[in-house]
Amino acid sequence: MLYSFRILNPSPSDWQRIESCFDTTCFHSAAWADYTRRIGRNTFVAEVFENNMHIGYFVGVKVWMGITMIAAPMDGIGTYSQGLCFFEPVPADKRVAVYQDFAYWLFRDHIASYLQVDDWTLRFDTGNQEWVPYEEVRIPALDMAGIPYTTRATIHLPLTGKTEEQLWAGLHYKSAKYSVNKANKLGLTVKRITDRQDVERFTKVHFEQVTEVCARKGTVPKPSQQRERMQAVCEALFPDRILMLEVHGNDDEGQDQIMATAIWTLDKGECAFWTAASFQRYMRYCPNELMIWTAIKTMAAEGCGDLNFCGMADYKLKYGGHYAYIPHIVFTKYPWFNTIKNKAKTLYFAIRRYRQNRRGKHDFK
């Protein structure tokens, strides 16, 4: 093998080096490892060497599901992408070659029998708002290596180097700018949670809103949307790696209400739109558009990286982003396990769609 690896139990100084890599996100951080620890998952970190020279790290989660898995990310815990990070930029084909050697090392040394990776750096960006069918999306570096993969879509909004005026110009008028202006005229205000003592109250309200949104769709909150999980995320990432916003406004009786709430993870490389929700009875006030616009300009002003909207929902396009496709790569020592895992996942989503159809609702995500 050209590349070698060594398991690492990171110290605070190790985490500083990991977070200094050019392509890290919040999901590669010590704060995110603290969150996964809080919910009972073990972060797995390995150093990466090329000809005995330390060039980067791998960050994921180690879990037992009949066989030992290394997942980057692990399903159901709210992590959008993980995997490799390097001290210096590397070409895509080298990144893929490291994954191949990494999987071989895991299997050879009996560390794990299954590796799954969703790598944000290997994404395919359309650069526009034209949808590309999944079967037409190609990741050249993976194709050249003969590695099978699937993709999932998200909305990607570049923030780096953008002024507030440029970001505002990218918003759609009828579906975004109009709503922001309306919310401002109605006197709505956006509050950022900056006091740790407010976190518990914030997550309580947010979970109430998420539960109402899911009920309208005929579903229930996902594991990552449970209040305990959201509380763990906010506590672990507070204050520097998280943006918690709530929209206040007076209702018809003149009483102050929290109409909408949302959570974003923050990082120099990529910010993630983790979750957002609002009460249906206040939708006519347009709190969501004001809240998301406030988050966009706040992240840009604070020098955060580009915004990943973390999933497909058509409404997200009105904020000026474009389609991006993230590859899902699987290496397995036992092909039969991948078949079982995929069938279980298919069954889960079939049940979810059935419940939604009974309510006559469509879940874009």
Three-state SS at 11: coil
Separation of alpha carbons 92 and 325, rounded Å: 15
Q: Which domains does the chain have, with CATH numbers?
A: 3-152+327-333 (3.40.630.30), 164-304 (3.40.630.30)
Asked if the model's pLDDT at residue 364 lies above 80, the reply is no
Asked if the model's pLDDT at residue 320 lies above 60, the reply is yes
pTM comes to 0.88
Asked if the model's pLDDT at residue 356 lies above 70, the reply is no
Separation of alpha carbons 130 and 44, rounded Å: 37
Given its phi and psi angles, is residue 9 left (phi above 0), alpha (psi -120 to 50 degrees) or beta? beta
Contact assessment for residue 60 and residue 66, using Cβ atoms and an 8 Å cutoff: no
Rounded average pLDDT over 2-26: 96
Question: Environment class of residue 350 by beta-carbon count within 10 Å: exposed (0-12), middle (13-18) or buried (19+)?
Answer: exposed
What's the pLDDT score for residue 174? Answer: 82
Question: Chain-wide mean pLDDT for the chain?
Answer: 90
Q: H/E element holding 306?
A: strand 306-308
Rounded average pLDDT over 42-65: 96
pLDDT tens per residue across span 108-145: 999 999 999 999 999 999 988 889 999 999 999 999 99
pLDDT tens per residue across span 21-47: 999 999 999 999 999 999 999 999 999
Q: Are strands 270-278 and 306-308 parallel, antiparallel or unpaired?
A: parallel
Strands (E), 1-89: 3-8, 42-50, 53-64, 68-72, 83-86
Name the residue among 68, 101, 98, 64 with its Cα closest to residue 84. 98
Separation of alpha carbons 223 and 36, rounded Å: 13
Separation of alpha carbons 222 and 233, rounded Å: 15
Rounded average pLDDT over 339-363: 55
pLDDT tens per residue across span 73-119: 888 888 888 999 999 999 999 999 999 999 999 999 999 999 999 99
Instruction: State both tokens at 66.
Output: 């009949």
Q: Are strands 53-64 and 83-86 parallel, antiparallel or unpaired?
A: antiparallel
Separation of alpha carbons 365 and 363, rounded Å: 5
Q: Where are the alpha helices (DSSP H) in 194-334?
A: 199-217, 227-237, 287-301
What's the pLDDT score for residue 77? Answer: 84
- Region of poorest pLDDT, from 103-112, 195-204, 299-308: 299-308
Separation of alpha carbons 185 and 162, rounded Å: 26
What's the pLDDT score for residue 361? Answer: 41
Separation of alpha carbons 272 and 79, rounded Å: 10
Rounded average pLDDT over 299-316: 88
Find tokens 């396990």 and name the residue: 337
- Within a 10 A sphere around the Cβ of 87, how many other Cβ atoms? 17
What's the pLDDT score for residue 349? Answer: 53
What's the pLDDT score for residue 96? Answer: 98
What's the pLDDT score for residue 314? Answer: 80
Rounded average pLDDT over 18-23: 94
Q: Residue 89 — φ and ψ, nearest 5°?
A: -60, 140
Q: How many residues are present in the chain?
A: 365
Instruction: State both tokens at 155.
Output: 């909305």
Give the residue with greater pLDDT, 268 vs 264.
Answer: 264
- Region of poorest pLDDT, from 203-207, 218-222, 292-296, 330-334: 218-222
Name the pLDDT band for 365 (thresholds 50, 70, 90): very low
What's the pLDDT score for residue 217? Answer: 83
What's the pLDDT score for residue 138? Answer: 95
19's CB contacts (< 8 A; 6+ apart) are 28, 29, 30
- Region of poorest pLDDT, from 40-44, 75-79, 155-159, 202-206: 75-79
The DSSP-derived string for 297-353 is HHHHHTT--EEE--S--GGGGGGT-EEEEEEEEEEES-HHHHHHHHHHHHHHHHHHH
| CA 91 to chain CA centroid, nearest Å | 23
Asked if the model's pLDDT at residue 354 lies above 90, the reply is no
Q: H/E element holding 15?
A: helix 12-20
Asked if the model's pLDDT at residue 351 lies above 80, the reply is no
Question: CB-hemisphere CA count at 13 Å for 198?
Answer: 13
Asked if the model's pLDDT at residue 360 lies above 50, the reply is no
What's the pLDDT score for residue 268? Answer: 83
- For 47-61, give the secondary structure using H, E and C: EEEECCEEEEEEEEE
273 pairs with which residues across the strands?
A: 264
